[in-house]
Amino acid sequence: MRNIFVLLLISMATVSSAQTVFNYGPHTVKKEEFWRAYTKNNPGKPTAASVREYLELYIRFKLKVQAAKDLKLDTLPNLQNDIAAFRAQIAEQYMKKSAFSKELITEAAERSGTEIEAAHIFIEYSADSAAAKKQADLAWKQLQEGADFSITARNYSTNVYVKATDGYLGYISVLSLPYELENVVYALAPGTYSKPVAGSKGWHIFKVLSMRKSVGTMTAAQILFTIPPDASQEEKAAVQRKADSVYQLLRSGLSFSEAAATYSHDKFTYMNGGVLPAFRFTDFDPAFSKAAFALEKDGEFSAPVYTPAGWHIIRRITRSSTNTDLTNPEVYQKWSDQVNADAPINPVAKRQKAEMKTASGYKVIPYNEIQLWQLTDSMLAATNYAAVFKANQQNRLFQLKDKTVMVADWLKFVKSKYNQANSNNVNGYGELMNEFTETTIEQYYKDRLERMNPEFGYQMQEFREGSLLFEVMERTIWSVAPADSAGLLQYYNNNKTKYKWQPSVTAIIFNCADTSVANQALLLMKQNTANWQDYMDQLGGYALADSGRFEFSQLPVKEGTKFAAGTFTAIETNANDGSSSFCYIISVHETPDQRSFEEAKGLVINDYQLLLEEKWIGELKKKYPVKVNESVLKELLK
């Protein structure tokens, strides 16, 4: 048994080691992390040489980051604030990203080809969502026993309009219902109905009456005659007579746009001839759409049509089929915009919420709804609501992976939404509980986004380690070398032969916004080269000049240019941004000669920083010995 146990440990150690590219002291770097960094910074085909070279760079990088942690630079308030700000910025982007957006765009385009004639039974949550569910179950039971759907809709629906129409919805199509309800309807066959399904306002039971091919989209104009709220029968009849009289005027030749401007009550369209945005059959009231799509020719208009909004006279402008060719970038973008629109029907948002709920390990803990709603009412009415919070800190509501959500959390959420003065306006708590659940899950997911989304975790790690690298390099190398005057001078004296002027010129280099400015600067310089600084002021920032000694390779000239004192080089224009440059040559130095310390100081600082860095890396490698796993490295190159 002991031997088996030892073999098992060895096997486990081998598997673990096989995933490690290198160790530095007690710390490890896994092959996934290294390979992701390598491929991100080396887009070409991997080679053994490039992988080896990058491995050394990455080892040095990790050692420096560890040095920063040793110095506790990760606890600096300014650095923590920067990381928090970056996280907040990209977290919103990642929360909105969707791996299934393309799938939903394709689904929407496919569904758009079919319009479904449907009806529903609708039972609002009201003040008692449990009672609403009970009514929905009773309606469902009666349907299963053979009850007529229209009669059941009339008897059980709580919405006045739904009762009056026997639940008839007319035709619906993609993106006209909240996504979870759309899925239910599109999954039904004609003549069948669904089980009770919860929506944002109440319970639905859907029935599909028929299906047909989409009739496309229409652009139309309308003249609207609204009926005042609580209008008498006489007032309603007067509105109808007005609509009929305008219809007769149109038949007699009155311009539709003139009639709309004069008579239409649609405040959004009367000034533009009554023209409406393009719409589908399913976007408006069935009576309106039926009349609009019955018009056979462009320019034809309907007799007055009644809807709950009033009387409409509709004029057809154009009609077209729905374009679903997703290989066309413009069409794909149009569907993408619709699918990702920030609206209640947004399928991407709905799918994301479902994904977050699953990833967060959401599990409801059974509770008595009636008792919870009564407790919520009591809390809103209480003067000492904090005591109610405290009393419910141990009462559980639902569970997320490593977080238990308490009744007190729910009560605090409700309190933030309502106060005692408007508590009577709370139309049931079912919808509010859905909002609380979604909000809590979203925040839980967002707080743990590094674990939930590996890509986000990698990006945060890159930013955090990059910030630490910058901080530790600034403190250890970048600010130390320039301040070490004695060390710089000693390094210069020990390495003078490195700092020689190659063939060079003393010159003034002019960098101009474009060729016309360069020509102006050149004309001015030819008048008097000694006034070059004044000329730059005259050109108002459209030209900048720098004087000094420059090696031939530093000059903005064509290769092979010959230099002579007192001459100007040709104007050279940058093809990328249109900027133009030229030089005035003061003197020419054909042979190499020694740079002074001041002339070489920039180069000396750079080399001295490299020297300090190499010494530092050597010390870090002693502190954190590096061991490369050659077998894993070879696997990466296969």
Mean pLDDT of the chain: 89
Task: Look up residue 397 and give its amino acid.
Answer: L
Average pLDDT over residues 206-219: 94
297 or 429: whose pLDDT is higher? 297
* Structure-block tokens of residue 24: 């530095």
Q: Which among 271, 265, 274, 285 has a CA at the least distance from the CA of 225? A: 265
> Residue 334's CB: how many other CB atoms inside 10 A?
15
Asked which of 125-134, 523-532, 607-616 is least confident by mean pLDDT, the reply is 125-134
- The β-bridge relationship of strands 593-594 and 114-124 is unpaired
pLDDT at 6: 34
pLDDT at 464: 95
Q: Confidence band (pLDDT; 50, 70, 90) for 553?
A: very high
Indicate the DSSP class of residue 402: T
Q: Which among 552, 548, 527 has a CA at the least distance from the CA of 538? A: 527
Q: Confidence band (pLDDT; 50, 70, 90) for 380?
A: confident
pLDDT at 549: 95
Could you tell me the maximum CA-CA distance found in the chain, to the nearest angstrom?
Answer: 108
**pLDDT reading at 127 higher than 90:** no
Coil, helix or strand at residue 425: helix
Q: Confidence band (pLDDT; 50, 70, 90) for 245?
A: very high
**pLDDT reading at 605 higher than 90:** yes
Which of 125-129, 180-184, 542-546 shows the highest mean pLDDT?
542-546
- Express each pLDDT in 145-164 by its tens digit: 999 999 999 999 999 989 99
Q: Which among 450, 406, 417, 377 has a CA at the least distance from the CA of 127? A: 377
**422: exposed, middle or buried (Cβ count in 10 Å: 0-12, 13-18, 19+):** exposed
pLDDT at 129: 66
Average pLDDT over residues 467-471: 95
pLDDT at 419: 57
pLDDT at 621: 97
**pLDDT reading at 497 higher than 60:** yes
Phi/psi of residue 606, nearest 5 degrees: -60, -45
- Contact (Cβ atoms closer than 8 angstroms) between residue 259 and residue 243: no
- Contact (Cβ atoms closer than 8 angstroms) between residue 444 and residue 357: no
Task: Give the alpha-carbon dihedral of 576, 582, 587, 590, to 10 degrees.
Answer: 40
**pLDDT reading at 5 higher than 50:** no
> Residue 39's CB: how many other CB atoms inside 10 A?
13
Residues in the chain: 638
Beta strands in 156-282 (DSSP E): 168-172, 197-198, 202-213, 217-225, 279-280
Q: Confidence band (pLDDT; 50, 70, 90) for 253?
A: very high
pLDDT at 98: 55
Q: Which among 148, 154, 181, 182 has a CA at the least distance from the CA of 167? A: 154
Average pLDDT over residues 561-586: 95
Coil, helix or strand at residue 411: helix
Asked which of 26-40, 119-133, 260-274, 548-562 is least confident by mean pLDDT, the reply is 119-133
pLDDT at 96: 66
- Express each pLDDT in 314-352 by its tens digit: 999 999 988 888 888 888 888 888 877 755 556 666 777
Average pLDDT over residues 125-135: 79
Number of H helices, E strands in the chain: 26, 21
Beta strands in 462-502 (DSSP E): 500-501
Angle at 52 between CA 605 and CA 616, to 5 degrees: 35
**Which single residue is written with the structure tokens 């049931």?**
428
pLDDT at 128: 65
Q: Confidence band (pLDDT; 50, 70, 90) for 441?
A: very high
- Express each pLDDT in 12-60 by its tens digit: 333 344 489 999 999 999 999 999 999 988 888 889 999 999 999 999 9
468 or 42: whose pLDDT is higher? 468
**pTM, 2 dp:** 0.58
* Structure-block tokens of residue 316: 């057809």
Share above pLDDT 70 across residues of the chain, in percent, rounded to a whole number: 93
* Structure-block tokens of residue 269: 């369209």
